[in-house]
Amino acid sequence: MNWITNYVRPRINSLFSRREMPENLWTKCPQCGTMLFHRELADNLNVCTNCDHHLAITPRDRFGALFDGGVFVEVKVPEPVADPLQFRDQKKYPDRMKAAQKATGERDAMLVAEGEIGRTPIVAAAQDFSFMGGSMGMYVGNAIIAAAERAVKLKRPLVLFSAAGGARMQEGILSLMQMPRTTVAVEMLREAGLPYIVVLTHPTTGGVTASYAMLGDVQIAEPNALICFAGPRVIEQTIREKLPEGFQRAEYLLEHGMLDRVTHRKELRDELVSILRMLGGMPAPTKADLPAPAPAQIDPPAQPSAEPDADQTQPGNATDK
Ligand SMILES: [Zn+2]
Protein backbone atom coordinates (compact mmCIF):
# COMPACT_ATOMS: atom_id res chain seq x y z
CA MET A 1 0.00 0.00 0.00
CA ASN A 2 2.79 2.38 0.91
CA TRP A 3 4.47 1.82 -2.41
CA ILE A 4 1.21 2.50 -4.21
CA THR A 5 0.33 5.68 -2.28
CA ASN A 6 3.85 7.05 -2.16
CA TYR A 7 5.12 6.18 -5.58
CA VAL A 8 2.45 5.04 -8.04
CA ARG A 9 -0.25 7.59 -7.24
CA PRO A 10 2.00 10.68 -7.46
CA ARG A 11 3.35 9.35 -10.77
CA ILE A 12 -0.15 8.93 -12.14
CA ASN A 13 -1.19 12.36 -10.85
CA SER A 14 1.83 14.03 -12.41
CA LEU A 15 1.13 12.26 -15.73
CA PHE A 16 -2.45 13.58 -15.74
CA SER A 17 -1.55 17.08 -14.65
CA ARG A 18 1.13 17.16 -17.34
CA ARG A 19 -1.42 16.10 -19.90
CA GLU A 20 -3.79 18.91 -18.83
CA MET A 21 -1.20 21.62 -19.30
CA PRO A 22 -0.94 21.68 -23.13
CA GLU A 23 -4.73 21.97 -23.45
CA ASN A 24 -4.61 25.36 -21.75
CA LEU A 25 -1.87 26.53 -24.08
CA TRP A 26 -3.89 25.88 -27.24
CA THR A 27 -7.25 27.27 -28.32
CA LYS A 28 -9.27 25.78 -31.13
CA CYS A 29 -10.71 28.36 -33.53
CA PRO A 30 -14.50 27.83 -33.49
CA GLN A 31 -14.71 28.92 -37.14
CA CYS A 32 -11.97 26.98 -38.97
CA GLY A 33 -10.82 24.52 -36.28
CA THR A 34 -7.15 25.56 -36.39
CA MET A 35 -5.28 25.02 -33.13
CA LEU A 36 -3.92 28.40 -32.05
CA PHE A 37 -1.04 28.83 -29.60
CA HIS A 38 -2.19 31.02 -26.72
CA ARG A 39 0.67 33.53 -26.96
CA GLU A 40 0.33 33.91 -30.72
CA LEU A 41 -3.42 34.36 -30.29
CA ALA A 42 -2.97 37.02 -27.58
CA ASP A 43 -0.44 38.90 -29.75
CA ASN A 44 -3.04 38.91 -32.52
CA LEU A 45 -5.73 40.40 -30.19
CA ASN A 46 -7.56 37.04 -30.07
CA VAL A 47 -8.17 37.06 -33.83
CA CYS A 48 -7.58 33.71 -35.59
CA THR A 49 -4.34 33.92 -37.58
CA ASN A 50 -5.76 31.51 -40.16
CA CYS A 51 -9.32 32.71 -40.93
CA ASP A 52 -9.53 36.14 -39.20
CA HIS A 53 -12.34 34.94 -36.92
CA HIS A 54 -12.71 37.31 -33.95
CA LEU A 55 -12.68 35.27 -30.74
CA ALA A 56 -13.87 36.77 -27.47
CA ILE A 57 -11.44 39.05 -25.64
CA THR A 58 -11.71 40.00 -21.97
CA PRO A 59 -12.26 43.69 -21.09
CA ARG A 60 -8.90 43.80 -19.31
CA ASP A 61 -7.01 42.46 -22.36
CA ARG A 62 -8.94 44.80 -24.62
CA PHE A 63 -8.11 47.83 -22.49
CA GLY A 64 -4.48 46.70 -22.33
CA ALA A 65 -4.30 46.84 -26.13
CA LEU A 66 -6.52 49.92 -26.47
CA PHE A 67 -5.02 52.49 -24.10
CA ASP A 68 -1.65 54.12 -24.78
CA GLY A 69 1.07 51.91 -23.32
CA GLY A 70 -1.67 49.69 -21.84
CA VAL A 71 -2.10 52.23 -19.03
CA PHE A 72 -5.59 52.88 -17.67
CA VAL A 73 -7.23 53.72 -14.35
CA GLU A 74 -10.32 51.79 -13.32
CA VAL A 75 -13.42 53.81 -12.53
CA LYS A 76 -15.13 52.72 -9.32
CA VAL A 77 -18.62 51.28 -9.76
CA PRO A 78 -21.13 51.52 -6.87
CA GLU A 79 -22.07 48.12 -5.45
CA PRO A 80 -25.68 47.08 -6.01
CA VAL A 81 -27.80 45.05 -3.58
CA ALA A 82 -26.70 41.41 -3.76
CA ASP A 83 -29.34 38.82 -4.73
CA PRO A 84 -32.45 40.97 -4.06
CA LEU A 85 -34.86 38.24 -5.24
CA GLN A 86 -33.16 35.35 -3.37
CA PHE A 87 -33.11 33.67 -6.77
CA ARG A 88 -32.38 30.01 -7.10
CA ASP A 89 -32.44 27.67 -10.11
CA GLN A 90 -30.12 24.63 -10.11
CA LYS A 91 -27.72 26.79 -8.12
CA LYS A 92 -28.19 29.78 -5.83
CA TYR A 93 -27.52 33.12 -7.55
CA PRO A 94 -24.76 34.13 -5.06
CA ASP A 95 -23.03 30.79 -5.77
CA ARG A 96 -23.18 31.43 -9.53
CA MET A 97 -21.75 34.90 -8.94
CA LYS A 98 -18.90 33.53 -6.84
CA ALA A 99 -18.06 30.93 -9.48
CA ALA A 100 -18.06 33.56 -12.25
CA GLN A 101 -15.93 35.92 -10.15
CA LYS A 102 -13.44 33.15 -9.48
CA ALA A 103 -13.28 32.09 -13.15
CA THR A 104 -12.84 35.61 -14.55
CA GLY A 105 -11.16 37.45 -11.67
CA GLU A 106 -13.61 40.31 -12.20
CA ARG A 107 -16.31 41.77 -9.96
CA ASP A 108 -19.08 41.58 -12.58
CA ALA A 109 -19.72 41.68 -16.33
CA MET A 110 -18.55 45.27 -16.98
CA LEU A 111 -15.21 47.03 -16.59
CA VAL A 112 -14.96 50.84 -16.67
CA ALA A 113 -11.68 52.70 -17.12
CA GLU A 114 -10.27 56.09 -18.03
CA GLY A 115 -7.09 56.82 -19.94
CA GLU A 116 -5.77 58.00 -23.28
CA ILE A 117 -5.87 56.39 -26.70
CA GLY A 118 -3.63 57.96 -29.32
CA ARG A 119 -3.17 60.85 -26.82
CA THR A 120 -6.95 61.36 -26.81
CA PRO A 121 -8.46 61.23 -23.30
CA ILE A 122 -11.52 58.99 -23.04
CA VAL A 123 -13.65 56.96 -20.64
CA ALA A 124 -14.24 53.38 -21.78
CA ALA A 125 -16.55 50.59 -20.65
CA ALA A 126 -16.34 46.98 -21.81
CA GLN A 127 -18.72 44.12 -21.23
CA ASP A 128 -17.42 40.64 -20.45
CA PHE A 129 -19.24 37.81 -22.20
CA SER A 130 -17.32 35.22 -20.16
CA PHE A 131 -18.97 36.57 -16.99
CA MET A 132 -22.42 34.92 -16.91
CA GLY A 133 -22.93 35.60 -20.61
CA GLY A 134 -22.23 39.31 -20.15
CA SER A 135 -25.75 39.57 -18.78
CA MET A 136 -27.03 43.00 -17.83
CA GLY A 137 -27.77 43.15 -14.12
CA MET A 138 -27.82 46.04 -11.67
CA TYR A 139 -24.02 46.16 -11.56
CA VAL A 140 -23.79 46.62 -15.34
CA GLY A 141 -26.39 49.41 -15.09
CA ASN A 142 -24.38 51.05 -12.30
CA ALA A 143 -21.20 50.68 -14.36
CA ILE A 144 -22.68 52.47 -17.38
CA ILE A 145 -24.02 55.27 -15.18
CA ALA A 146 -20.63 55.57 -13.44
CA ALA A 147 -18.92 55.68 -16.87
CA ALA A 148 -21.30 58.36 -18.19
CA GLU A 149 -20.99 60.47 -15.00
CA ARG A 150 -17.21 60.22 -15.13
CA ALA A 151 -17.18 61.19 -18.83
CA VAL A 152 -19.40 64.23 -18.14
CA LYS A 153 -17.24 65.27 -15.16
CA LEU A 154 -14.00 65.01 -17.16
CA LYS A 155 -15.65 66.28 -20.40
CA ARG A 156 -14.44 63.20 -22.27
CA PRO A 157 -16.13 60.99 -24.85
CA LEU A 158 -17.38 57.54 -23.81
CA VAL A 159 -16.47 54.43 -25.79
CA LEU A 160 -18.48 51.31 -24.97
CA PHE A 161 -17.74 47.73 -26.06
CA SER A 162 -20.87 45.61 -25.81
CA ALA A 163 -21.15 41.82 -25.56
CA ALA A 164 -24.18 40.28 -23.93
CA GLY A 165 -26.68 37.48 -23.97
CA GLY A 166 -29.27 39.99 -22.70
CA ALA A 167 -30.77 40.68 -19.30
CA ARG A 168 -29.74 38.79 -16.13
CA MET A 169 -32.73 36.64 -15.32
CA GLN A 170 -31.58 36.12 -11.72
CA GLU A 171 -32.40 39.79 -11.09
CA GLY A 172 -35.79 39.69 -12.85
CA ILE A 173 -37.50 43.05 -13.30
CA LEU A 174 -34.56 44.84 -11.64
CA SER A 175 -32.42 43.72 -14.58
CA LEU A 176 -34.95 45.01 -17.13
CA MET A 177 -35.00 48.35 -15.32
CA GLN A 178 -31.37 48.83 -16.41
CA MET A 179 -32.65 49.50 -19.94
CA PRO A 180 -34.28 52.89 -19.09
CA ARG A 181 -31.55 53.65 -16.52
CA THR A 182 -28.74 53.26 -19.07
CA THR A 183 -30.77 55.16 -21.69
CA VAL A 184 -30.92 58.12 -19.27
CA ALA A 185 -27.14 57.81 -18.77
CA VAL A 186 -26.61 58.03 -22.55
CA GLU A 187 -28.94 61.04 -22.64
CA MET A 188 -26.72 62.70 -20.02
CA LEU A 189 -23.78 62.48 -22.45
CA ARG A 190 -25.90 63.90 -25.26
CA GLU A 191 -26.93 66.88 -23.11
CA ALA A 192 -23.27 67.51 -22.27
CA GLY A 193 -22.44 67.42 -26.00
CA LEU A 194 -20.04 64.50 -25.57
CA PRO A 195 -19.62 61.75 -28.18
CA TYR A 196 -20.81 58.25 -27.30
CA ILE A 197 -19.28 55.55 -29.49
CA VAL A 198 -20.49 51.95 -29.36
CA VAL A 199 -18.42 49.00 -30.56
CA LEU A 200 -20.66 45.96 -30.86
CA THR A 201 -18.84 42.67 -30.41
CA HIS A 202 -19.99 39.07 -30.83
CA PRO A 203 -22.64 38.49 -29.57
CA THR A 204 -24.73 41.51 -28.55
CA THR A 205 -28.33 40.45 -28.00
CA GLY A 206 -31.53 41.00 -26.03
CA GLY A 207 -32.12 43.93 -23.70
CA VAL A 208 -28.61 45.26 -24.28
CA THR A 209 -29.30 45.69 -28.01
CA ALA A 210 -32.64 47.24 -27.05
CA SER A 211 -30.99 49.93 -24.91
CA TYR A 212 -27.49 51.41 -24.58
CA ALA A 213 -25.80 49.30 -27.29
CA MET A 214 -27.85 50.87 -30.08
CA LEU A 215 -27.81 54.50 -28.91
CA GLY A 216 -24.29 55.46 -30.02
CA ASP A 217 -23.52 58.54 -32.09
CA VAL A 218 -21.35 56.19 -34.15
CA GLN A 219 -22.14 52.47 -34.29
CA ILE A 220 -19.16 50.24 -35.07
CA ALA A 221 -19.18 46.43 -35.08
CA GLU A 222 -16.51 43.76 -35.22
CA PRO A 223 -16.66 41.47 -38.29
CA ASN A 224 -19.27 38.70 -38.27
CA ALA A 225 -20.62 39.74 -34.83
CA LEU A 226 -24.16 38.54 -34.10
CA ILE A 227 -26.25 41.60 -33.20
CA CYS A 228 -29.94 41.11 -32.55
CA PHE A 229 -32.82 41.40 -30.11
CA ALA A 230 -34.32 37.93 -30.58
CA GLY A 231 -31.89 35.36 -31.97
CA PRO A 232 -32.18 33.84 -35.48
CA ARG A 233 -33.32 30.46 -34.13
CA VAL A 234 -36.25 32.02 -32.25
CA ILE A 235 -37.30 34.02 -35.33
CA GLU A 236 -37.03 30.95 -37.58
CA GLN A 237 -39.25 28.94 -35.26
CA THR A 238 -41.79 31.76 -35.03
CA ILE A 239 -42.15 32.66 -38.70
CA ARG A 240 -41.36 29.11 -39.93
CA GLU A 241 -39.14 30.35 -42.73
CA LYS A 242 -35.49 29.97 -43.54
CA LEU A 243 -33.63 33.20 -42.81
CA PRO A 244 -31.22 34.68 -45.38
CA GLU A 245 -27.49 33.92 -45.21
CA GLY A 246 -25.63 36.06 -42.69
CA PHE A 247 -28.88 37.36 -41.15
CA GLN A 248 -28.28 39.58 -38.07
CA ARG A 249 -24.53 39.50 -38.61
CA ALA A 250 -22.52 42.75 -38.62
CA GLU A 251 -22.03 42.88 -42.43
CA TYR A 252 -25.75 42.25 -43.07
CA LEU A 253 -26.71 45.00 -40.61
CA LEU A 254 -24.22 47.41 -42.19
CA GLU A 255 -25.77 46.76 -45.61
CA HIS A 256 -29.24 47.41 -44.16
CA GLY A 257 -28.33 50.68 -42.44
CA MET A 258 -28.24 49.51 -38.81
CA LEU A 259 -24.50 50.19 -38.44
CA ASP A 260 -22.02 52.85 -39.54
CA ARG A 261 -18.91 50.69 -39.76
CA VAL A 262 -17.65 47.12 -39.57
CA THR A 263 -14.05 47.25 -38.45
CA HIS A 264 -11.37 44.60 -37.97
CA ARG A 265 -10.18 44.46 -34.35
CA LYS A 266 -6.63 45.37 -35.37
CA GLU A 267 -7.78 48.57 -37.10
CA LEU A 268 -10.29 49.49 -34.42
CA ARG A 269 -7.96 51.54 -32.24
CA ASP A 270 -6.75 53.79 -35.09
CA GLU A 271 -10.30 54.23 -36.30
CA LEU A 272 -11.59 55.15 -32.84
CA VAL A 273 -8.79 57.72 -32.44
CA SER A 274 -9.65 59.30 -35.83
CA ILE A 275 -13.39 59.43 -35.08
CA LEU A 276 -12.94 60.76 -31.53
CA ARG A 277 -10.52 63.48 -32.63
CA MET A 278 -12.77 64.46 -35.52
CA LEU A 279 -15.85 64.71 -33.27
CA GLY A 280 -13.86 66.53 -30.57
CA GLY A 281 -12.53 69.11 -33.05
CA MET A 282 -8.94 68.07 -32.31
CA PRO A 283 -6.06 67.99 -34.82
CA ALA A 284 -5.59 64.78 -36.82
CA PRO A 285 -3.99 61.91 -34.91
CA THR A 286 -0.24 61.36 -34.94
CA LYS A 287 0.14 57.84 -36.31
CA ALA A 288 3.75 57.30 -35.22
CA ASP A 289 6.08 58.67 -32.59
CA LEU A 290 7.31 62.13 -33.45
CA PRO A 291 10.98 62.14 -34.56
CA ALA A 292 13.44 63.69 -32.17
CA PRO A 293 14.24 67.29 -33.15
CA ALA A 294 17.29 67.27 -35.43
CA PRO A 295 20.04 69.90 -34.94
CA ALA A 296 19.11 71.39 -38.34
CA GLN A 297 15.67 72.27 -36.96
CA ILE A 298 17.17 74.30 -34.13
CA ASP A 299 19.22 76.50 -36.51
CA PRO A 300 16.36 77.92 -38.67
CA PRO A 301 15.24 80.61 -36.15
CA ALA A 302 18.07 82.69 -37.68
CA GLN A 303 16.23 82.68 -41.03
CA PRO A 304 12.85 84.04 -39.81
CA SER A 305 14.71 86.99 -38.29
CA ALA A 306 16.04 87.73 -41.79
CA GLU A 307 12.58 87.53 -43.32
CA PRO A 308 10.98 90.36 -41.29
CA ASP A 309 13.33 92.75 -43.12
CA ALA A 310 11.80 91.59 -46.37
CA ASP A 311 8.35 91.80 -44.78
CA GLN A 312 8.93 95.34 -43.64
CA THR A 313 9.16 96.46 -47.25
CA GLN A 314 5.82 94.80 -48.04
CA PRO A 315 3.68 96.76 -45.58
CA GLY A 316 5.26 99.84 -47.09
CA ASN A 317 4.19 98.71 -50.52
CA ALA A 318 0.73 97.89 -49.26
CA THR A 319 0.24 101.37 -47.80
CA ASP A 320 1.42 102.90 -51.06
CA LYS A 321 -1.34 101.08 -52.86
ZN1 LIG B 1 -9.96 30.34 -37.61
Whole-angstrom distance, CA of residue 250 vs CA of residue 223: 6
Residue 240 lies in a domain: yes
**185, 259: one domain:** yes
Is 125 in the same domain as 166? yes
Average pLDDT over residues 223-250: 92
**What CATH number does residue 224 fall under?**
3.90.226.10
User: Has residue 305 been placed in a domain?
Assistant: no
Q: How far is the CA of 265 from the centre of ligand 1 (A)?
A: 14
**CB 275, CB 197: distance < 8 Å:** yes
Binding site for Zn(2+), by residue number, is: 29, 32, 48, 51
State whether 130 and 243 are in the same domain.
yes
First CA to last CA distance, the chain: 114
Please give the distance, rounded to the nearest whole angstrom, from the Cα atom of residue 259 to the centre of ligand 1: 25
Q: What are phi and psi of 261, to 5 degrees?
A: -145, 150
Whole-number Å distance between alpha carbons of 188 and 166: 23
pLDDT by residue (tens digit) across 264-315? Answer: 999 999 999 999 999 999 998 877 666 666 766 555 555 554 444 444 444 4
Sheet holding 196-204, edge to edge: 72-74, 110-117, 120-127, 158-164, 196-204, 218-221, 261-262
**How many angstroms does the Cα of residue 45 sit away from the middle of ligand 1?**
13
Do 194 and 103 have their domain in common? yes
26 Cα: distance to centroid of ligand 1 (angstroms)? 13
**Residue among 160, 156, 117 nearest 285 (CA):** 117
Looking at the 3D structure of the chain, how many domains does it have? 2
- Residue at 5 is within a domain: no
Q: Tell me the per-residue pLDDT of 19-52, one tens digit each, with 9 for 90 and over.
A: 545 557 899 999 999 999 999 999 999 999 999 9
Q: What is the extent of the structural domain holding 72? A: 56-279
Q: How many angstroms is it from 50 CA to the middle of ligand 1? A: 5
What distance in Å separates the CA atoms of residue 200 and residue 19, rounded to the nearest whole number? 37
Structural element, H or E, at residue 140: helix 138-154
pTM: 0.82
Mean residue pLDDT of the chain comes to: 88
